[in-house]
Amino acid sequence: MFDIIVANGTISTAADTYVADIGIKDGIITAIGRNLEGADRVIDATGKDVLPGGIDSHVHIAQPSGDGIVMADDFASGTLSALHGGNTTILPFCMQEKGGSLRAALTDYHAKAEGECYTDVSFHLIISDPSPQLLGQELPAAVADGYTSFKVFMTYEGLRLNDAEILATMDVARETGALMMVHCENEDAIRFLCDKFASENRLAPLSHALTRPVVAEREATHRALSLAEVVDVPVVIVHVSNGAAMEEIERARSRGRNVIGETCTQYITLTASDLDGMDWEGAKFVCSPPPRDETEQKKIWSGLERGVFNLFSSDHCPFRYEDDRGKLNPKGREDFRHIPNGIPGVECRLPILFTEGVLAGRISINDFVAMTATNHAKTYGLYPKKGTIAVGSDADLAIWDRAAGRTIAHAGLHDGSDYSPYEGRTVDAWPTTILLRGKLMVEDGALVGTKGAGAYLPRELSALAKKAQAA
């Protein structure tokens, strides 16, 4: 009757926690109840937490990085690392190259992913060149084909859009029902500070954090929310690093705006002082927005506790450290402005939040599931196929072992980088058995599934964006 029964686990969804068996047939959850019988295989989950497989909706893999820089993960290593960290779906970004077509970027990105994935994947788009052709034809066609979310940048030379371009791109989101994600940092303020620091020969990694202050993020967040209000469109504010930017989200919501807030592991664990490491070690923590300080960490925690943040993601963006094409490239080892931005973290996101959030009593296990799986599926058009444990949903399950705590060491991780920013941190639980659409992929910490088991997922419109369109 069933292919697999996951027996007697403590199931948690975003709403409930209870003990039951899960019956799986043809990759789908077909029964949840007590004393289920009749399966080829029974996995005993007594005393374990059975959660929906994690969904990490902010991941960078094999993204062109320019200037001789190469990302450390391809789809094989990136999804393998995600899987071992309890994830069954990830959403990396397919980037339109300046002047290039979206179709070409998608063809190329799909070719990179095809047959290589250990988790399911779906792609967001990055819009770097909102030409009339792109906004009028390519982007609406891509949304109709299931690429229902796209990111724009207010910073990074070569990627940033000006306000007029952001407004025009938001208008396409409104027309098509797609969801727009915005990276909020004021590029001109950052450029001004970078030039000043360079003229004073302050070129070490710490300068990266000092030249991207909270005010640059707060101002851009306010502006992005204001532009979304002008167009009357919902918006996702990604990787919020501090309290002031978070308060902009709360203020916009109090005006009735439809805003999704995302924060990431680095903003509850790292601080700018990590960029001040011995020699050039601080380069290992260079990401944007940068980690702040302990006061800001507390504010981010309060946002997680109060439900200000819908999404907790990794912003996994891996580069190798000791590498000419990574953090210590010939220019980057002398000048912070040439250190590639981004840090690895897809494998550690869930164990860190489980330990410091759930086990430390800051958030409930149901909030954990919401912020790491269910809300990602709802926000990005994958729910209820993904992101929950329910009859009819894909059997994407992570079985957590509270006796499998460990000290994080990069040697035990599976990404393509050569370090972890979370090295030495202790976690008190780990998702040791993982099922992807009913297929056993990881068993007691060991890989038993195969490359290529992960599939590409076209997506519906976001439930959030749909609601706004209907209004």
Q: Given the rule CB under 5 A, which residues bind Zn ion?
A: 183, 315
Cis peptide before 384 (omega within 30 of 0): yes
Q: Which of ligand URP, Zn ion, none does residue 287 bind to, with CB < 5 to 8 Å depending on kind? A: ligand URP
Residue 129 binds: one of Zn ion, ligand URP, none (C-beta under 5 to 8 A by kind): none
The interface partner of residue 211, options being ligand URP, Zn ion, none and the CB cut-off 5 to 8 Å by kind, is none
In degrees and rounded to multiples of 5, residue 363 shows phi and psi of: -135, 155
In the complex with ligand URP, the residue whose CB is nearer, 297 or 388, is 297
Q: Between 75 and 93, name the residue whose CB sits nearer to ligand URP.
A: 93
Minimum gap (Å) between residue 71 Cβ and Zn ion: 12
Kindly state the smallest distance separating residue 449's Cβ from Zn ion, in Å: 27
Residue among 181 and 442 whose Cβ is closer to ligand URP: 181
Token output for 25: 């047939």
Nearer Cβ to ligand URP, position 177 or 342? 342
Is residue 427 within 8 A of residue 351, CB to CB? The reply is: yes
92 binds, among ligand URP, Zn ion, none (CB under 5 to 8 A by kind): none
Residue 313 contact, options Zn ion, ligand URP, none, Cβ 5-8 Å cut-off depending on partner type: none
HEC string for 143-191 = HHCCCCEEEEECCCCCCECCHHHHHHHHHHHHHHCCEEEEECCCHHHHH
Give 116 or 315: the residue with its C-beta nearer to ligand URP. 315
Q: What is the DSSP string of 437-448?
A: TTEEEEETTEE-
Q: Cβ of residue 288: shortest distance to ligand URP, in angstroms? A: 4
Residues paired with 208 in a beta bridge: none
Q: Which does 48 bind (CB under 5 to 8 A by kind): ligand URP, Zn ion, none?
A: none
- Residue 287 Cβ, how far from ligand URP at the closest point, in Å? 4
Q: How far is the CB of 178 from Zn ion (least distance, A)?
A: 18
Asked if 389 and 28 touch (Cβ cutoff 8 Å), the reply is no
As measured in angstroms, the least distance from the Cβ of 31 to Zn ion is: 39
Nearer to Zn ion by C-beta: 63 or 329?
63
Nearer to ligand URP, 57 or 372 (CB): 57
- If residue 432 lies in a helix (H) or strand (E), which one and from where to where? strand 430-436
What is the 8-class DSSP label of residue 374? I
Residue of this chain nearest to Zn ion (CB atom): 183
CA distances from 238 to 262, 311, 415, 448 (A): 5, 9, 23, 34
Q: Report whether 208 contacts 276 (CB < 8 A).
A: no
Nearer to ligand URP, 341 or 379 (CB): 341
Long-range contacts from 254-260, C-beta under 8 angstroms, 24+ separation = 255/229, 257/225, 257/228, 257/229, 258/234, 258/464, 258/467, 258/468, 259/225, 259/228, 259/234, 259/235, 260/179, 260/234, 260/235, 260/236, 260/310, 260/311, 260/379, 260/464
From the CB of 113, what's the least distance to Zn ion, in Å? 18
Distance CA 207, CA 194 (A): 8
Q: If contact means CB under 5 to 8 A according to the sort of partner, which of ligand URP, Zn ion, none does residue 385 touch?
A: none
Partner whose footprint covers residue 341, from ligand URP, Zn ion, none (CB < 5 to 8 Å by kind): ligand URP
Binding site for ligand URP (CB under 6 A): 60, 183, 287-288, 315, 317, 341-342
CB of 241 to ligand URP, least distance (A): 10
